[in-house]
Each structure stands twice: as C-alpha cells, then as structure tokens.
Chains A and B, each alone.
Chain A
Amino acid sequence: MRTIMCSAGCITRKEAVVMSEPIIEVKNLTKYFDVRKYLLGKRERVHAVENVLFELYESETLGIVGESGSGKSTLARLITGLLEPTRGKIIYKGIDITGSRRAYLNKIPKLIQMVFQDPYASLNPRIKVGEAIAEPLRIHKIVDKKEVRTEVERLLKLVGLQPEMYDRFPHEFSGGQRQRIVIARALALKPEVLICDEAVSALDVSIQAQILNLFNQLKEKLNLTYIFIGHDLSVVKYISDRIMVMYLGEIMEIAPAEELFNKKLHPYTQALISAVPDIEEENKRIILEGDIPSPINPPTGCKFHTRCFKKRKICEEEHPELKEVAPGHYVRCHFVG
C-alpha cells in the first residue's frame, strides 16, 4: 500500500514534529450550542465541535481546514477561552486551562492569542491604533507605565509599520496594514501560541503573501507556535507543518502537510485538494454534492456520508473512529487503514 512507501521528505517532517513537546493538548473537546428559534420555542442543539483530540507541538504550525460550518472557528474560540467547552479538556504545558479555570490562572491564558478574520472589524474604529495596542500592555502591566509608548512603537516596527502611526485611527489604514496592527496587538502580551482564524482570507492575494511571510518571520524571531485556520488549502499548505481536516465538528484527517497532500486518504480531503486550482494534478476535480448538512441534526454514522462519493451501507450505520494509519497520520474513514 501507499502508506508504507513513505518518501524520505515525509519522514524528516515527522521527526521534526515528534522531537518537540506538546504545548497544547486538546482532549475530547466538545461544544454544543443550545438555540431556540423563537422565545419559548423548542430547544435545539447545535453540534459545533465533537470529540476533538489532538496535540499542538511547540514551534510547529498546525493548519486547520474545512468548509464554513465545520467547527474550526468554534475550536479556535474554545482554545482561546472565548467559549467554554461542553466537555473535554485543554491542557497547556501540563496545566489544565479548560473553561472557567482560566480565571484563576493569571497570564497563562493570555499566552494564547488570536488574529481574526476581518481586519476591518477587529479594530475598534473609535480608538487610535497605538492605544489599541497599549491597552493590553497597561491592563496586564506587561511593561512599566512610562515604557508603554516605546513598547507599542517597537511592536509596530516588528510587524513592519512606522512608529509614527501610533496616533492614527483604524480607518486610515488598508486591510493589510490593519491586519499588521492586529498582529502587533496580539503580540503585545508576548504569547507563545498564536491562533490565526482565517487571518488572510479577507485580504487581496498580493497582500496575503506579505502577511504570510510576516507570520513566518515572526515565528522565527519569537519562536511562536501557530494554529492556522483557513478554507483555502493552498494557503494553509504553504504555511503549515501539519494539517487537520475538519467536517461538521469532527476531525476527518490529520497528518503532516506533505503526506496529507501526497496520500489524500480521506474522500473529503481528496475533494478539498481536487478543488485547489493550481496544483499540478491530472486527476479530475471531485465536486461534492449539496451543502454541508445542518449541525443541528448531523447525519448518523459517518457524518460525511451524505456527500461522499465512496459511500456504502456501513457509512450510514456506523460511526468510523479516527485511526492511525501511519505514524502521526490519522484518518476517520471505514475504507482506510
């Protein structure tokens, strides 16, 4: 089988991953939202994230891909503590930081920061950009009061902006510049993990490349660990060491980036990769039928079966487990491994 014939490049990647320690361990993380369509209406349960289990290694970049509604943004918000999980645990360097426990753990939660999708919406339009960066510095007393301005100017330079921009308002900046400001603000707390939730999706392609390079430079300079969420596989591939594929709140496949692209074990991964336009690939494009099903009543059995081109009877009845098919390569499919 192809799994056995792993290329040399693949092994080096894997080694790089195995050598470092897990900085975050996500254990059986589950998030349900209870919603009501109208007041006094029937309660319905959205299965946003279901039983997600993975480890994030120090200094790596983990890419997460999936369509909208796959639960990747919810997962990011669970890890940053913006949402509380229904079940499961988040361990940061051996310390449980799940949910309300964060409140007692000074500073640690702040070591996981986030860069959001929309650079136009993630800065308060009424606050000067310098002040926006200074606010977390002051609140968490990261530097001495007198040094706040110098620190902000240093951060602005770090992300490639001029320190003179301190006193300007967000509307005076372009999308790319704003995203740099947002990154500077996230870096103010000296985080170790940076979660980028579709951080370049809203930008022009030329700007995307600049910001991606900035991410790579910062990673080297500050020894950062990234979780990079996106729906554009080519972008995620470019920046990630490992890639996790999510569908309806579940992990479908997780593997080192090269291996994922070379082997394409899960049908959903195949469909996603085939949709990337500029990958030199003679294979035909696999077009998935229909939309992602509602997370309110997810399909039984394999959640992907309603759109899968390899579907058989077992897929409707049995829920496949996430199996390790090669070291560091996990797939959730009845027909793999």
Chain B
Amino acid sequence: MHEKKSFFQLLMRSRLTVVGLIGVLIIVLMGIFAPFIAEKPKGYGSEILLPPSTNHWFGTDNLGLDIFAEVVWGARTSLFVSLVAVLVAIVIGVPAGMISGYKKGVIGSIIDSLIDIFLTLPILPLMIVIAAVIGSSILNVAVIIGIFSWPSLARVTRNATLKISELQFIEAAKCLGIPTGNIIFKHILLNIMGPILVNITLIMATAVLSEAGLSFLGLGDPTTWSWGVILKKAWENGAVIDTPNPWWWWFWPSVFVTFYVISFNLLGTGINDILNPKPND
C-alpha cells in the first residue's frame, strides 16, 4: 500500500512543473505589488534610450521612461486581461460544454458544430476586426479574447462530460430522481474540474499571447502599460534595426511575454500529467 499523496506533493514531483509554478507566482506577485516595486511610468524622463544599468535594470525608452517599470506594470495588465478572458471563457464555455456533452440530441449537435466552427476560424484576424470596430479599451480587449477562448474550453468540458455521463453513478442519480440541474452542475462538474483547470491554465497563456498580439498591432489600450504596447512603441520607433540599437527596449517585454506563457504552459502540463498519468511515457 502506498501512501496517498496530496495534489500539491504530486505537483512538486516534476521539476518542470515547479519551474512553472514559481514563474506564475513571480508574475502574480509582480502584478499585485506593481505599485510597490516600481513607480507607474508616465510623462517624460531626461535619460533617453539608456542601456541596462544599476539605475535602470532594463534600460530606458525614447521618452526616458524606465523599461523595468513598464514591464512590471505590464504584468498587471497581462494578469487582468487573462483573468477576465478566463472568466468570460468559463461563463460561456463550461455550461456550453456540459450541456452539449450531457444532452446528446439536437442541442448537443448545435453547440458542438459551433465549437467546431470557432475552432476552425482564424481567430486573431477576427479579434482584430472586432477590436478595431468596438474600440480597444483594456476591458474590451479582455472580453473579446475571452469570447474567443470559450470553444477550446467547451470542447474539453464536453469531452470530459461525455466520459463522466456514461458512468453508472449518473444513471444511479437519475434513478434516484435527482434533478438534471443537480446532476450536471454537481455530480458531473465535481468530476471534470481537472481537465477544466488544465484548460484554464492554457487559456491564461494564450490570452496573453493574444493581448500582446493585439496591442502590438495597435489594438491595445494606449493608456495602459502592457507588454504588447511597449513592443509596439519599440518597433514603431525602429528599436529593432536602428543603429545604435536599443535592443533592451524590445528584448525585455518579449522575454516576459514568453516567460509568462511558458510558466502557465508548464503548470498546465504538470497538472495534466498528474490527472492523466501516462505509465509508458
């Protein structure tokens, strides 16, 4: 008999998952405590395009603003956007997936086809069109990303629901006259939290990629610091190919986008490996 280990202990077993968890923690702390870490960058500074130094860890931009501060405040935006996006995706995706997985008839097929359609479409261009039209406040962008993140969550939820609703305890619940609502949102939901959690972690990652992409293409909120906004400014001002080259301007925000995404992806993969152990892999 082996000792039953807690979920957290299992998480700690994989080094890559620990790396992911630490990465997520760093970003979360950066986002929450941004005002205590660095002053919100605004206005103009006198030290223009300085390379990284002890004063300015990540250097300064063409307005003399501290890029480290911009990156720290960008973490806050990224977290906000991905959390709102995940929330929207959960509100739409989880019920849609559960209903389509549980009710196999016409409603199920309609929702499933919708999921299929949205998964096929080139989402970034569609988000661009919508963001361009409704205006790109940070909340709008977050909601748009959320609206287009629901299909993958719904698909995952649907597949998990299909599997669970075949199990005997669902039949037993029906036999005991448990109302459908209780069956779906208690008996099934309790058993599909795992895959949903994994997918949420992955949506956190892709949401930031989308936000950075939209901001980079000029559809972000110019009044809020986000990694994509910094990159857009750097690129528009020729930071990548100008001589002399202020590489730090585009390098650090890019690193943080990637760091954020890798951390959440690693965490998601780690959770997934615990929930679906592959003995031969």
A–B touch (CB < 8 A): the answer is yes
Which A residues between 60 and 81 are near B, CB-CB below 8 angstroms?
Answer: 77, 80-81
- B176→A136 contact, CB < 8 A: yes
Any B CB within 8 A of the CB of A47: no
Chain B positions within 8 Å of A116 at CB level:
168, 171-172
Q: Is the interface of A mostly helix, strand, loop or mixed?
A: loop
- B182→A124 contact, CB < 8 A: no
Chain B positions within 8 Å of A188 at CB level:
176
- A82→B176 contact, CB < 8 A: no
Any B CB within 8 A of the CB of A1: no
Q: How far is the CB of A156 from chain B (nearest CB, A)?
A: 17
Which A residues between 121 and 144 are near B, CB-CB below 8 angstroms?
Answer: 121-127, 135-136, 139-140
Given that A109-B177, A139-B179, A139-B182 are known contacts, is A127 also in contact with B190, CB under 8 Å in the complex?
Answer: yes
| Contact for A124 among B175, B177, B179, B190, CB less than 8 A | B190
- B177→A189 contact, CB < 8 A: yes
* Number of residues on chain A facing chain B (CB within 8 A): 27
Residue in B closest to A123 when the chains form the complex, CB atoms: B169
Chain A positions within 8 Å of B178 at CB level:
135-136, 139
Any A CB within 8 A of the CB of B241: no
A124 to B173: give the CA distance in the assembly, Å: 9
- A121→B176 contact, CB < 8 A: no
- B169→A121 contact, CB < 8 A: yes
A124 to B190: give the CA distance in the assembly, Å: 9
| Contact for B177 among A118, A126, A140, A182, CB less than 8 A | A140
A127 to B173: give the CA distance in the assembly, Å: 12
Given that A136-B178, A139-B178, A185-B176 are known contacts, is A124 also in contact with B171, CB under 8 Å in the complex?
Answer: no
Residue in B closest to A140 when the chains form the complex, CB atoms: B177
A188 to B168: give the CA distance in the assembly, Å: 18
* Number of residues on chain B facing chain A (CB within 8 A): 16
Any B CB within 8 A of the CB of A110: yes
Any A CB within 8 A of the CB of B13: no
Any A CB within 8 A of the CB of B40: no
Q: How far is the CB of B244 from chain A (nearest CB, A)?
A: 61
Any A CB within 8 A of the CB of B174: yes
Given that A82-B171, A123-B169 are known contacts, is A189 also in contact with B190, CB under 8 Å in the complex?
Answer: no
Q: How far is the CB of A121 from chain B (nearest CB, A)?
A: 4
Residue in A closest to B182 when the chains form the complex, CB atoms: A139
Residue in A closest to B172 when the chains form the complex, CB atoms: A122
Residue in A closest to B191 when the chains form the complex, CB atoms: A126
Any A CB within 8 A of the CB of B56: no
Chain B positions within 8 Å of A77 at CB level:
171
Any B CB within 8 A of the CB of A117: yes
Any A CB within 8 A of the CB of B117: no
Residue in B closest to A113 when the chains form the complex, CB atoms: B175
Q: How far is the CB of A116 from chain B (nearest CB, A)?
A: 5
A32 to B169: give the CA distance in the assembly, Å: 24
Given that A122-B168, A124-B169, A139-B182 are known contacts, is A114 also in contact with B187, CB under 8 Å in the complex?
Answer: no
Which A residues between 71 and 128 are near B, CB-CB below 8 angstroms?
Answer: 77, 80-82, 109-110, 113-114, 116-118, 121-127
A189 to B173: give the CA distance in the assembly, Å: 12
Any A CB within 8 A of the CB of B167: yes
A186 to B190: give the CA distance in the assembly, Å: 22
A140 to B175: give the CA distance in the assembly, Å: 13
Residue in A closest to B176 when the chains form the complex, CB atoms: A136
| Contact for B175 among A114, A121, A135, A139, CB less than 8 A | A114
B residues neighboring A (CB under 8 Å): 167-169, 171-179, 182, 187, 190-191
A residues neighboring B (CB under 8 Å): 77, 80-82, 109-110, 113-114, 116-118, 121-127, 135-136, 139-140, 182, 185-186, 188-189
3 nearest A-B pairs in the assembled complex, by CB-CB distance: A126-B190, A121-B168, A122-B168
